[in-house]
Structure 1
Amino acid sequence: MRREQVLLALKEAAKCGRHTEFVIAGSLSVLGLKEVPPELMSISIDIDFFPLRDPTQVQDIVAELGEDSAFHEQHGYYLDPISSSILVLPPGWMGRLVMLEFGGIHAYFLDVNDTAISKYVRSAENDFRWIDAGLEAGLLDLDIIEGRAQFGLDYPGEDDKRRVLNGIRSHRAARNEDGTLRHELLATLRSYTQARIANLSDDDHQYTGDILYAAVNRVVQEVEPDVFVIHDSSCWDYTPLVGQKVSVIYAGGVATVKGMARPSPGMR
């Protein structure tokens, strides 16, 4: 979807009542940052929105411009009302809204790094696609996201916090030097929906457990039931095999791998 399509919908929404200020959330918040973002970030046909003032009064807008409305049938997209209370957003998000003004109407787009946190909470496939695309395009900043996710954010539940931290740690481990992502690693980690990815300590610590993923420079190990750590194996002298149980012993930041037979060269 393009920015002008969102603005057209909001122009029509303003005709339905007294609202002239609207907040755009969800995937299409990226249109506040970039007029033509990556396709995977703007592919949505539903515009998540709420009026900035009196956000509960949207009945007339939904009737005219919501799903299955005449507007939807004519244009192929629609306005989808949400409540700001259902979004998990970090403190200060309102002060970071990106405002675009046109014809007396003000559109306020969520900051994309704030949107990323709400998408990590949901952790649906389309949410991951959006974040992946934003990171690879350089539109999302993982350091900013992590800072906002860890300090002052009131999570509805521990599972919400776990999903956000899992997502951030997965992306850190999957990021290549050129900004691209290791999608196979991400797919593996996301297949374990109930797992927790723990921070790895490489200072006098030992991890024992099965290897779940092993590729160039990255090894994922289950160290407790549904608790994973991700090793940087770039300095290891061999790559363990998936399914093997090993001990990874760190001393002074250097890892020693024990408890397994070294694979033959043809098995590496």
Structure 2
Amino acid sequence: MKRHEIEHLIRAAGAITDSNEIIVIGSQSILGLHPDAPDSLLKSREADLIPIQHLEHTDLIDGVIGELSPFDETFGYYADGVDKTTAILPDGWENRLVKIENDNTNNIVGWCLEPHDLMVSKLYAGRDKDIDFVSVAIDADIVDIELIRSRITMVSNNDNMREIVINRLGRIISNLKNRKTSDL
């Protein structure tokens, strides 16, 4: 997905849900702060969106601009209507959201996760594609490892998972170091 495509989804989601603010909570929120992120971070055809003013309208997003909709068939990308429980995020994440608002969003505000908060969410999800996403972001120097570690400690009510998540981050760092050493 490219920056103009996430802007299009923000505009469309705002129009369908009668919301003037949309949160982009999934991987494509990287486009908020990094519109020129590495292509390997922009593979996804979908964006997870939360209509702030009308949470009850998430099903409209799925129906009108969701997967296999005429919108998806026309443009080649789509949105999933989700809620705030979709991702595990560090405390204070809502205060760190990155704003997208321009003519292409029709001045509907898109709030994207701050990249370090996004990395924490990916580490907690722990799927292979999420681990790869974090690895690429670290390798591309668009996130700071120590800030990710700090944000992991800011996740409430997940003490039992924290150690697992910190170990996931450690394995990513180790794999990146090993790869760089073998490249020499």
TM-score with structure 1 setting the length: 0.62
Equivalents in 1 of 2:179, 2:82: separation in Å?
Answer: 31
Paired position in structure 1 for 2:119: 116
Equivalents in 1 of 2:157, 2:121: separation in Å?
Answer: 10
Alignment identity in percent?
A: 25
Shift of 1:124: 0.8
1:93 partnered with 2:93:
yes
Query: Do the aligned partners of residues 17 and 82 (structure 1) sit closer, same or farther apart at CA in structure 2, a change above 3 Å counting?
Result: closer
Structure 1 or 2, whichever has the larger Rg, is: 1
Shift of 1:122: 1.4
SS of residue in 1 equivalent to 2:101:
strand
SS of residue in 1 equivalent to 2:156:
coil
1:96-148, CA deviations, whole angstroms, 9 ceiling, x for partnerless residues?
Answer: 10001122210100011101111111111110111111001101111001011
- AA at the equivalent of 1:165: I
Residue of structure 2 aligned with 1:148, choices 137, 147, 151? 151
Q: How many residues align?
A: 179
Equivalents in 1 of 2:89, 2:142: separation in Å?
Answer: 18
Shift of 1:88: 0.9
- AA at the equivalent of 1:161: R
- More RCO (CA 8 Å, sep 6+): 2
- AA at the equivalent of 1:119: K
- AA at the equivalent of 2:31: L
- Equivalences for residues 65-144 of structure 1 within 5 A: 65-102=65-102, 103-144=106-147
Shift of 1:17: 3.3
Paired position in structure 2 for 1:165: 166
**Do the aligned residues in 2 keep the contact of 1:6 with 1:47 (CA within 8 Å)?**
yes
Paired position in structure 1 for 2:22: 22
Paired position in structure 2 for 1:232: none
SS of residue in 2 equivalent to 1:57:
helix
Structure 2 gaps of 5+ residues are: none
TM-score with structure 2 setting the length: 0.89
SS of residue in 2 equivalent to 1:48:
strand
Tell me which protein shows more strand as a share of its residues: 1
SS of residue in 2 equivalent to 1:16:
helix
- Equivalences for residues 1-268 of structure 1 within 5 A: 1-102=1-102, 103-150=106-153, 152-156=154-158, 158=160, 160-176=161-177, 182-183=178-179
SS of residue in 1 equivalent to 2:119:
helix
Paired position in structure 2 for 1:192: none
**Do the aligned residues in 2 keep the contact of 1:88 with 1:155 (CA within 8 Å)?**
no
SS of residue in 2 equivalent to 1:108:
strand
Paired position in structure 2 for 1:253: none
Shift of 1:175: 4.3
Shift of 1:55: 2.3
Tell me which protein shows more helix as a share of its residues: 2
**Do the aligned residues in 2 keep the contact of 1:40 with 1:129 (CA within 8 Å)?**
no
Equivalents in 2 of 1:126, 1:81: separation in Å?
Answer: 21
The two structures, once aligned, show a CA RMSD in angstroms of 2.0
